[in-house]
C-alpha cells in the first residue's frame, strides 16, 4: 500500500492578485515561501521515500523547499500540472466568473484522466512507500475526486501549502 501526501504549492503573486495562473509558472511570494517552510517543519517527523512535483515553477520551488528539509531529491512530472485554462490564463478571476469556458480550456474528462494516470504511476513506481506530491489546486482536487470516486465540486478547496493524505491501498500508515 502506498501512502500519498498531496500538497498545494505556496502562495504566489498571481494568487494574491487573483489572476488565473493555469499552466504559467508563477512566483512564490515571501508569505508562500514561509508557508512551505512551516509545512516542511510540520512534516519533518514523517518518513518520505520520494518527492514528486509538477514541473511548473511555483510547485517545483515549493517542492525544493520541502526537499531541503526532508533530504530528498525532487522528481518532476507533467501529470501534476495545473489545469490548462486556455484563453482564461492570465485573466483577473472575478472578471471571468460568469463567462462561458473557452473551447481551449482543458476538458474535465482529460483532467480526470491525467489524475488517474498520476495515481496509477505513483502506485506502480512507489509500491508500499510514502510519497510527497506537490501540485496545484485543481489537479489536486481531481486526484482526490478520482481516488474517492467523487465529483471535483464535492472536494473541498485546498489552501496554499495545505496537504491531504491518500491511502492507495487497504490501510494507511500515517
List, for residues 59-99, the tens digit of each pLDDT value.
999 999 999 999 999 999 999 999 999 999 999 999 999 99
Q: Please report which confidence band the pLDDT of residue 6 belongs to, taking 50, 70 and 90 as the band edges.
A: very high
Distance (Å, whole) CA 70 – CA 14: 28
User: Is residue 86 within 8 Å of 105, Cβ to Cβ?
Assistant: yes
Neighbours of 148 (CB within 10 A): 11
pTM for the structure as a whole = 0.95
Domains parsed from the chain with CATH numbers = 2-168 (3.40.50.1240)
Question: What residues act catalytically?
Answer: 9, 82
List, for residues 101-136, the tens digit of each pLDDT value.
999 999 999 999 999 999 999 999 999 999 999 999
pLDDT of residue 173: 53
Amino acid at each position: 500500500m502506498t501512502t500519498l501526501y498531496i500538497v498545494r504549492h505556496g502562495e504566489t503573486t498571481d494568487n494574491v492578485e487573483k489572476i488565473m495562473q493555469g499552466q504559467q509558472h508563477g512566483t512564490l511570494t515571501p508569505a508562500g515561501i514561509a508557508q512551505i517552510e512551516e509545512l516542511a517543519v510540520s512534516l519533518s517527523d514523517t518518513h518520505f521515500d520520494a518527492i514528486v512535483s509538477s514541473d511548473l515553477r511555483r510547485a517545483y520551488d515549493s517542492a525544493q523547499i520541502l526537499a531541503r528539509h526532508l533530504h530528498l531529491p525532487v522528481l518532476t512530472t507533467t501529470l501534476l500540472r495545473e489545469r490548462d485554462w486556455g484563453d482564461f490564463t492570465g485573466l483577473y478571476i472575478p472578471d471571468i466568473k460568469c463567462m462561458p469556458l473557452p473551447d481551449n480550456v482543458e476538458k474535465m474528462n482529460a483532467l480526470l484522466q491525467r489524475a488517474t494516470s498520476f495515481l496509477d504511476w505513483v502506485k506502480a513506481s512507489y509500491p508500499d512507500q510514502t510519497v510527497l506530491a506537490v501540485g496545484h489546486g485543481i489537479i489536486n482536487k481531481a486526484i482526490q475526486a478520482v481516488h474517492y470516486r467523487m465529483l471535483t465540486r464535492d472536494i473541498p478547496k485546498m489552501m496554499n501549502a495545505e496537504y491531504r493524505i491518500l491511502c492507495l491501498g487497504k490501510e494507511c500508515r500515517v
